[in-house]
Structure formats: structure tokens, C-alpha cells
Structure 1
Amino acid sequence: MTNTPITPDGRGSRIGEPEYDRLLAEVAEWVRGPGEAWAERIERTDAVPAELFAELKALGYLSMAAPVQLGGRGLSFDQWMGLMEIFSRSHASIRMLVHVLNGTWRAINPHVTDIQRERFVIPMIAGELLVAFTLTEPGNGTGADLTTTVRREGDTYYLNGRKHLITFGVHCDYWLLFARLEGTSGKDGVVGLLVDRDAAGVTVEDTSNTMGVHGTDHASLTFVDTPVPVAQRLGEEGDGLKIALGGFLTPSRISVAMSCVGLAERAQELAIEYATGRVTFGKPISSRQAIAFMIAENEADIQAAKQLTLHAAREWERGAPEAPALSSMAKLTAVDMLTRVTDKALQIHGGIGYWKTSAIERVYRDARAQRFEEGTNEIQKTVIARAVLSGAAGKAAR
């Protein structure tokens, strides 16, 4: 363990390299063995079994990224990225579980009271509470233009509005929800709340019928005067976007970028396996220049995206002001890379890759979800452009 002070969002925590190497090997073995068996069951039933969640919890895979002081394994963020890379070679719903459970606490912990930490954060890290990040709305963007509102009456907020595309929104315990105080505009009026899944005045629509990422539930939510205790507000009124964007989305975008790397590596693995085993005119198709060049392009693409993602992870961990823009760069680059890699991997398989009996078919479907998870490519470009242009303006002013 390092002697560096550990921040409330986990920066400064780290485990020794021998322990980390053993953990990498353990997770890789699980992904290829039990993880693949679970993947087949998820695809067959279109549901994530409760037994899988229990197994991930028992193995400690839902609490790896949190500091030991909070009940976690104590991995640094860049160490956690190495584990995300491996988990992402598995089924997308398995990756989604470990991604969300190992990340949501990070946004909350810097803003909670000691009582809230005991009530929410520590049980989240232990895998006893599932909290769904609840920002996106159907009628507007995902930032300062939120239209879901709260009004305060004494010790209670009353929540009104709609949210959609909420991962784990059906079966969670709480929604980590962002809304604005009635009568406010802009970022300063946004609050972060932990809303009980069973609160009154909520309509939950299960919208889980997706192209890929089978088994993970998604919800559309409608709130009509839903009561939320003021004691379940995170931080102060006006802290909402700071919690949502800096506390959750910046590290989460880096994590999604690494999940793209891991899934691309799985696609490349399947492509190489098929290309070396498929024989035409007496030779494996891997000996054909067209196929070999696709594999070479994929490998270069994967490595470039991986290194940018690791750079973003390390910059976020040290608190660099460029980290938010770098997280968007990593996510944008990795998503585009994954699109190219999975398309070539499917092409290498030829027609057989289009059948559900081929592993590459599931990888190809799951890859498409990454293009909008934690913000579309267009959102990432907006974040990057704003950072670059404001930086250029600042330099010009000096």
C-alpha cells in the first residue's frame, strides 16, 4: 500500500504489484471459465441471474476500486482500468455490473455526510445496494438544461419530471438522480439526490428490449410529486452537476473507453482464431494479405486507444485540469476504434459471423452500445472542442 493520502474519490489508493498480478490472472481465468458460462445463460434467458450478482459480490469483484478504508480492495484507478480491460472481454452485462458498482460510489463519497457514508456508500461498495445513475432526460440534453424539478417543503423535496435510458433503473435500490430547483436555470440550481426505488409517485417503465447488452435492465421513469427527504441530498444545493459530470462522468468515460479496448481485444482474438483455422485453397486465410492487413490494422488501433485511455486515467488520478477533456478524447477514440475493429473482425468471419452461433455476433451487437454510453461521440467532441478553444483563447490573452 502507498503512503499517499487517499482522497474521498479513491485517488492515492494502490495495491502492490505482486498482489495486482495475481488478481489480473484470477479475473482472466474467471472470465474465460465461469464468466463465459454465465454469458451463455444471459443470452439464453435475456436476464442477469441473481446468482451471478451474488457470485461477483462473494468474489469481491464489485468492490475492487474502492479504498480499503471503505471496504474495497484498494486498487488505484489505472490498476482498476487493467481489470476493466479483462472484464470487458466477457459478456457486456457482466462488464456493466462491475463497471457501475465499482464507480458510482466515487461520485457520491466526496459529498456525503458521515451518516450518509454509513447508510449508502459503504453498503454500495459491499454490493448490498445497487444505485442507478439517473441524469438523461427524453426532451433535452444531459447537463445544465435539465427540466426535471424539485421544490422544497420543510425537510422534503417533491420531485417532478421524466428520465430515460437509465441503466439498472428497474431493479436498483436507489436512483442517483439530478434535478433542478424550481425557478432556477443553469448549473447552479441543480441538486443531486438519492431517490428510493419504492418512493411514492414514481412510474417505472421497463425498456430493456435492446439490440445488445442483453440482460441489463433499462428504465424510463416518471415522477409526480415524489417525496425525497432532504437528508438524501448529496452536498449542497447547486452541487448537482459537479457530482454528475466531474465526480461520475469523467472517470466513468475513461472506464468505458477501457471497456472498448477490452471488447476490441476479444473481437481481435476471435478474428485471429478464425483466420488461422479457416482454410481455403489449402491455406489458412490468415496467410492472405487482405486478412493479415485487417488484423494488423486492428492491433495498431487497439494499442493506440489503450495508451490514450491509460494516459487519461493517470491524469485523472493526479487531478490534472485536462482530465475531463482527456476522458472525452479517450472515449471518442476508443469507441471509433471499437467500431472499426469489430467490423473487420466480423468481416474476417465471413457469412458465418452473422449467425448467433458465432461468438463474434454477440461482440458486434454489444459494441454498438458504447457509442452512446456516458455520452455520444458528438457530446465528447463538444467537451474536447470547448477545452481546446478555451485553452487557445487563454494563451492568446496572455
Structure 2
Amino acid sequence: MTIVEQTSTGFDEAAFQQLKAEVTEWVRGRGEEWAEEIERTGQVAPELFQELKANGWLSLAAPTELGGRAVPFSRYLEIMEIVSRSHASIRMLVHVINGTWRAMAPYATPEQIEQVVKPSVAGDTLVAFTLTEATAGTGADIRTTVRREGDTYVMNGEKHLITFGVKADYWLIAARLEGTTGQDGTVAFLMPNSGLPGAEVIDDSDTMGIRGTDHAILRFTDVPVPASALLGAEGQGLEVALGGFLLPSRVSVAMSAVGLAERANELAVEYANKRETFGKQLSSRQAIQFYLAENYADIAAARALVLEAARAYEEDRPDAGTLSSASKMVAVDMLARVTDKALQVHGGQGYWKRNAIERVYRDARAQRFEEGTNEIQKLVVGRAVVTGTAGF
């Protein structure tokens, strides 16, 4: 296993290129075997999780002081691009575990760093990002509430579409103080998923794609949450969720769309090169070449925007948030076009589960709502454009 980390002597480019080669080899070999197993069983086996952990791929992005390998964000996305060519549940594990520390670390107490953040980076503790609700958006209108009673907060409400919400050891959860509105009343907790009275966990994992990743509906009825679970200060709940996690996570999801689109087009090329119609290879047909050319250009353009958004985040530029939303908006629309054309190249064969493009096509739909729908991203970008803060 290649060790890559940012040191005082600089980034080890040779080691990083070796890491990329190792990930690529795994994705094409062992990763495909795991993909077939996940589709067959509908589960991510504990052995797969341990394999990802042993390879060091769950701790790529975090700084060394948290036990990570300190791969710079834009370079980490190159690994995400490769991993995303594999099964969506594998991508989801790498994506989430390499990202949740960003929301936790700046606000965590020393005790929370040792008890939750470092174990999460190490892959020993699983933390689920818990924001979305069925009856509200994913921002200042959240309705899950808490009230302070001495050394305890009492929580009521419901969350849904919570990835890893069933198996997580902790929920990184956003709520609001009873009687408040807007962002100022929001709070965040590192809340243990340990049988708290009044907490109901409903397995909601029967999805179109991303088979094997667990998802939960969480219902809270007068659930006692220890005050020591508070992450940051009262009023910082959305700051933790939106700035700490969602901004870079949107860029990561955008790069996952690039990687999956690359896999879809690769499958289309492979099929077109072996399929014959009327004595000629399908790939020699002009209509098919147009599909593949359009896909190539679409992917390249989206990838360039994603990397620009990553650099803006790294440099803490004022347009980082706008570019984050723009990159996801463009990349997921691109993924829809590319996978549709890739499936069309396969003709009727692509509709059967025995062909990998069928799974890729299903998995591609998830990015459309991960970390906010495109409608939300357009609102963010649109507001930046009309107020002159978009950057150009």
C-alpha cells in the first residue's frame, strides 16, 4: 500500500501516481468482483469495508493530526474520480468517510476529537450526515427541534434519506432550538446511535440504485441527547452542516459524476467495438461515433469545472460556494446525458442486468439529489449572478 501525505518537504507526486495506479487496478479487478457481490446480496459486506480501510482509502483527505494522509482536496478528487467508476456503494463509503471530518473537526471539543473524529478518520467509527427532512428543505427551515433541560437536550422530529443512518455509530445531526426560526436557532450534535429512548430507526434501503448502502428514516420523540454531544455553539448548526460538509461534498459528488460518466462511456466504447451490425462494427457507424464524441466532450468540460471548484475551495476564494453548486449542477446533468447515450449504444442489451451499463444507469440517478437537488444549486448560482458575487 502506497503512503501519500503532505509533508514539510512537499507533496510526493510519485507516490501519489502509484496510489492512483493501485486504486485503478483494484477498481477494475477486485472492485468489479465486489460490485457483483453487492448487486447479488444487496449488502456491503463487512469484509469490503475492512478492505477499503486496510488500503488506506477511507483516510486520504484528513490532516495527519487527525490520523489522515493529508492528500490535498483537488488531488483527492482524482482518487474519487477513479473510485466512482466502481460500484456506487463503494464510492459512497469513500466519499462520506473522507468528508465528514471537515464538518466535525473545526467545532469539536478535544473529547469529541478523540472519541469520534479520529476514530471516524481511521474507519473505526461510522458517522452519518443527518440533515434532510421529509417536510422541510435542507436549510434554515429544518423542523427537528430540541429544548434544553439541564445537562440534556430533548429532541423531537424526523429525518429521512439518511445515508448510513441505520449502521452509523453517530449521527452528525442538525436541529433547531424550540421556538426559533432561521439560521440563528440551529444547532448540531454528534449524537450516538446507541438505542436512545424515543429514537426510532427505520431501514429505508430499498432503492433504485446504490444497492448495498443503507439509508434510514429517523424519528425522535422526546429523545434525551447529552449536552456533551453538542457540536459547536448554539446557532452554528447550519454553519457546521453547510460550510463544513456540503460545500466540499458537492464538489466531490460532482467528481463522482465525472468518474461514473467515464465508466459509462468506456462500457459504450467496449460494446461498440465488439458489436457487429450488417457486417460492420458498431463503432464504425457515424451516429455511434457522434454519441461517443459528445460524451467525451461533455465529460472533459465537466471535469474542468469540478477541478476549478476544488481549487477555489482550497484557496478559500469568495466564489467557492458558487462554483461548488455550479460544478454539481453541470456534472450531474452531464452524467444523465452520458449514461443515456451509453445505454442507447448498447441497444436492447443494455436493459438487461447481466450488463454493467444497466447498473451504471441506475446508479447515475442518485447524484441528482445528493447534497441538494439541481434546483437548489441553480438558486445558489442564480443569486450569486444577480448580486454580482459569482466571480465574473
TM-score by length of 2: 0.96
Show structure 2 runs of 5+ residues with no match.
none
Does 253-262 or 189-198 show the bigger shift?
189-198
Show structure 1 runs of 5+ residues with no match.
5-12
Aligned twin of 1:355: 352
Does residue 98 of the first structure (1) align with residue 98 of the second (2)? no
Q: Deviations over 1:247-300 (max 9, x none)?
A: 100000000000000000000100000011111122111111100000000000
Identical-pair percentage: 64
C-alpha distance 119-394 of structure 1, shift in aligned 2 (>3 A): closer
| Alpha-carbon offset, residue 386 of structure 1 | 1.5
C-alpha distance 290-332 of structure 1, shift in aligned 2 (>3 A): same
Q: Deviations over 1:193-225 (max 9, x none)?
A: 011112221011111110010000110010011
Question: What are the within-5 Å matches in structure 2 for residues 141-152 of structure 1?
Answer: 141-152=137-148
| Alpha-carbon offset, residue 392 of structure 1 | 6.3
Aligned twin of 2:369: 372
> In the alignment, is the contact (CA less than 8 A) between 2:107 and 2:231 conserved in 1?
yes
> In the alignment, is the contact (CA less than 8 A) between 2:319 and 2:390 conserved in 1?
no
1:110 counterpart SS class: coil
C-alpha distance 183-68 of structure 1, shift in aligned 2 (>3 A): same
Does residue 223 of the first structure (1) align with residue 220 of the second (2)? yes
Cα RMSD, aligned residues only: 1.6
| Alpha-carbon offset, residue 390 of structure 1 | 2.1
> In the alignment, is the contact (CA less than 8 A) between 1:14 and 1:76 conserved in 2?
no
> In the alignment, is the contact (CA less than 8 A) between 1:14 and 1:75 conserved in 2?
no
Q: Amino acid of the residue matched to residue 188 of structure 2?
A: G
Q: Deviations over 1:348-391 (max 9, x none)?
A: 00000000011100000000111001111101001111222222
Q: Amino acid of the residue matched to residue 152 of structure 1?
A: R
Q: Deviations over 1:61-86 (max 9, x none)?
A: 11111112211111000011000000
Rounded Cα–Cα distance in structure 2 between residues aligned with 1:266 and 1:281: 27
> For 1:173, which of 169, 172, 190 is the aligned residue?
169
Question: What are the within-5 Å matches in structure 2 for residues 116-195 of structure 1?
Answer: 116-195=112-191
> In the alignment, is the contact (CA less than 8 A) between 2:381 and 2:390 conserved in 1?
no
Rounded Cα–Cα distance in structure 2 between residues aligned with 1:331 and 1:122: 29
Rounded Cα–Cα distance in structure 1 between residues aligned with 2:186 and 2:29: 45
Rounded Cα–Cα distance in structure 1 between residues aligned with 2:60 and 2:11: 11
> In the alignment, is the contact (CA less than 8 A) between 2:319 and 2:391 conserved in 1?
no
Rounded Cα–Cα distance in structure 1 between residues aligned with 2:70 and 2:142: 35
Aligned twin of 1:250: 247
Q: Amino acid of the residue matched to residue 51 of structure 2?
A: E
Q: Amino acid of the residue matched to residue 272 of structure 1?
A: V
Rounded Cα–Cα distance in structure 2 between residues aligned with 1:14 and 1:135: 37
Aligned twin of 1:277: 274
1:234 counterpart SS class: coil
Q: Amino acid of the residue matched to residue 260 of structure 1?
A: A
Q: Aligned pair count?
A: 387
TM-score by length of 1: 0.95
Question: What are the within-5 Å matches in structure 2 for residues 6-85 of structure 1?
Answer: 15-85=11-81
Aligned twin of 1:9: none
Q: Amino acid of the residue matched to residue 112 of structure 2?
A: Q
Does residue 294 of the first structure (1) align with residue 288 of the second (2)? no
Rounded Cα–Cα distance in structure 1 between residues aligned with 2:63 and 2:104: 14
| Alpha-carbon offset, residue 393 of structure 1 | 11
